[in-house]
Structure 1
Amino acid sequence: MKIEKNRVVRFHYTVSEPGQPPVESSRDREPLAILIGHGNIIPGLEAAMMDRVAGDSFEATVEPGQAYGERREGFTQRVPKKHIREPRLAPGQQVVINTSVGPRAVTVVKVGATVVDVDLNHPMAGKSLQFQVEIVDVREAEPVEIEHGHVHGEGGAQH
């Protein structure tokens, strides 16, 4: 079965910047399960998966515009320290803050007595990403998965 919109794909991946050591890998855990065509992974990786089948392994380079976007200079915000749950903060540290649109990964720029300046760019913004991917399996999505926009059951939401 080929990968196309409204199919569930389980896959392993390793991601790095070209020529650099891996940043993240799923090899030491269960494969990631996503519903194709619903914005659950970066667009460039999803596009590289299209028309592949279970058992395929491939490499794909995804440019910033199809990954986490270009870096935006000056894209910072001052946040009250009480909104960051980390007990100790230092410049360069990555933390997650809750926003009106959900959790967001940010990088600490400056720590004050009661406020923290954070860079709102995604930590991988402006970077080309090299993926090594192994497609584990592909199946038709259940109607409820399509309705909810994500995978249920093994590797997905448990609701």
Structure 2
Amino acid sequence: MTIDINSVVSLNYKLSNHQTGEKIEETTTDNPMVFLYGVGSLMPEFEDNLHGKKSGDTFEFSILADNAYGQHSEDNIVMIPLHVFQDESGNVNENEIRVGAVVPMSDNEGNHMRGQIREMTSEFVKMDFNHPLAGQDLHFTGEILAIRPATEDELAHGHVHGPGGHHH
């Protein structure tokens, strides 16, 4: 079987910065990446580079920042009033709300996102909502471990069930 739309793929990969060679993350055989191919959950160019491969095939490719997580944008750095982070007593949990911390947030439409606190003043918190890999060209190497057809439940839910996937 080859990788195609609606197949469940299990693979190992190493992700590094294309320019510097610095390792960003790496999966292991004990904990591979398992995903439903072709449902839009991954970068399109990542999936394009895997299309047609079979179990045992290796891969190596790079994805430019514009086709990965985009360029770093100053528009994604915002000043948020400190009171947003205060409890009913006006206190801020300094263990969670501190420079360098990554904080889950939601916008006015209820979209969830994560931002890193860059700076704090007595009135504002400066947060960076750029993806941590924004502005980086990515380099992937790896091996396809297994491919199987997705089940009806997986197709209906849009993600993998069972080992390595989502559990209900």
Q: CA deviation at 1:78?
A: 3.0
Aligned pairs for 1:42-121 (under 5 A) are 42-79=43-80, 80-82=84-86, 86-87=95-96, 89-90=98-99, 93=100, 95-99=102-106, 100-102=110-112, 104-113=113-122, 115-121=124-130
Separation in 2, partners of 1:139, 1:13: 18
Structure 1 residue ranges without an equivalent (≥5): none
When structure 1 is superposed on structure 2, of 54-63 and 108-117 the one drifting more is 108-117
Sequence identity percentage: 30
Separation in 1, partners of 2:122, 2:10: 45
* Structure 1 contact 81–114 (Cα < 8 Å) conserved: no
Q: CA deviation at 1:52?
A: 0.4
Runs of 4+ in 1 over 4 A off after TM superposition: 82-86
TM-score by length of 2: 0.82
Separation in 2, partners of 1:32, 1:22: 17
* Structure 1 contact 8–138 (Cα < 8 Å) conserved: yes
1:9 is aligned to 2:16: no
When structure 1 is superposed on structure 2, of 137-146 and 11-20 the one drifting more is 11-20
Q: CA deviation at 1:131?
A: 0.6
Q: CA deviation at 1:70?
A: 2.0
TM-score by length of 1: 0.87
Q: What is the RMSD computed on CA atoms of the aligned residues? A: 2.2
* Structure 1 contact 44–63 (Cα < 8 Å) conserved: no
Cα distance change on mapping 1:27 and 1:74 into 2, 3 Å: same
Separation in 1, partners of 2:85, 2:29: 34
Deviation string, structure 1 residues 26-76 (Cα, Å, up to 9, x no partner): 127411110011122222211111110111111110112221122222322
Amino acid at match of 1:101: N
Q: How many residues align?
A: 156
Q: What secondary structure is seen at the aligned counterpart in 1 of 2:78?
A: strand
Give the structure 1 partner of residue 32 of structure 2. 31
When structure 1 is superposed on structure 2, of 122-131 and 75-84 the one drifting more is 75-84
